[in-house]
């Protein structure tokens, strides 16, 4: 019986075929996501609601690898340009956002057309 199941030897429409299909579908739909270690990944760059004329982008700290401010500013400019679909946006200000323990949580890039 196991050999026939592995080689899918049951004829279509038989009870055994239907049971095998039901078991496969049950495995697909009822297995928890954690079993496959498949978790949704949040976006590392997001466009935030902002005032008229400016755009604000949230950038995860892992995206900006530069240590000094000038290089970090250039990296942020490139990321914003990619995120804006190639439209020319000039980076007005790059703010570092810290949590309560003074660890970097992310960057807020404020741009203008």
Q: Supply the pLDDT for residue 39.
A: 66
Query: In the chain, which residues have pLDDT < 50?
Result: none
Give the integer Cα–Cα distance in Å for 28 and 83: 35
Instruction: Answer whether 108's CB lies under 8 Å from 94's CB.
Output: yes
Q: Supply the pLDDT for residue 86.
A: 63
Q: Supply the pLDDT for residue 60.
A: 85
Q: What angle do CA 82, 53, 112 make, to 5 degrees?
A: 40
Q: Supply the pLDDT for residue 29.
A: 92
pTM strictly above 0.75: no
Q: Supply the pLDDT for residue 41.
A: 63
Domain ranges of the chain: 2-36, 45-112
β-bridge partners, 37? none
């Amino acid at each position: 019986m196991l050999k026939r199941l592995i080689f899918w030897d049951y004829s279509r429409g038989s009870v055994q075929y239907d049971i095998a299909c039901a078991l496969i579908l049950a495995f697909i739909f009822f297995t928890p996501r954690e079993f496959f270690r498949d978790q949704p990944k949040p976006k590392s760059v997001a466009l935030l609601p902002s005032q008229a004329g400016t755009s604000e982008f949230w950038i995860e700290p892992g995206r900006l690898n530069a240590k000094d401010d000038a290089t970090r500013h250039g990296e942020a400019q490139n990321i914003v340009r990619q995120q804006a679909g190639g439209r020319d946006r000039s980076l007005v200000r790059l703010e570092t956002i810290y949590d309560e323990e003074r660890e970097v949580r992310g960057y807020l890039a404020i741009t203008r057309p």
